[in-house]
Amino acid sequence: MLKCKEVVKVVSADQRISLMQKIEIKLHLIMCRHCRRYQQQLNLLKNGFVRLLKLKYNSADPQKIDQIEKKVLDKVNKRSNQ
């Protein structure tokens, strides 16, 4: 089984991985709640930033951008305090 360090490295790098690696990571995530939480937080951040970028591209009002930014940070903070 993969070690947490290896999973974190692969998940964070967003690199192309083989099918076998994908399966190994999935299995690890099923069994390891620490890595699962880490991946969830990472996704949360990624989604938040994607939304921010989209908003900025659509030149929405800065207030809305601040609201979303705050929401994402709140969620991340809440999860890391659990």
x/- site string to Zn ion, residues 4 to 23, per CB under 5 A? x-------------------
Instruction: Count residues near Zn ion (CB under 5 A).
Output: 3
Which one of 32, 44, 52, 55 is in contact with Zn ion (CB under 5 A)?
32
* Measured distance CA(61)–CA(55) in Å, rounded: 8
Contact in structure between 55 and 67 (CB atoms under 8 Å)? no
Least Å distance between CB 31 and Zn ion? 8
Closer by beta carbon to Zn ion, 5 or else 57: 5
Residue 75 burial (10 A CB sphere; 0-12, 13-18, 19+): middle
Site residues (vs Zn ion, CB under 5 A): 4, 32, 35
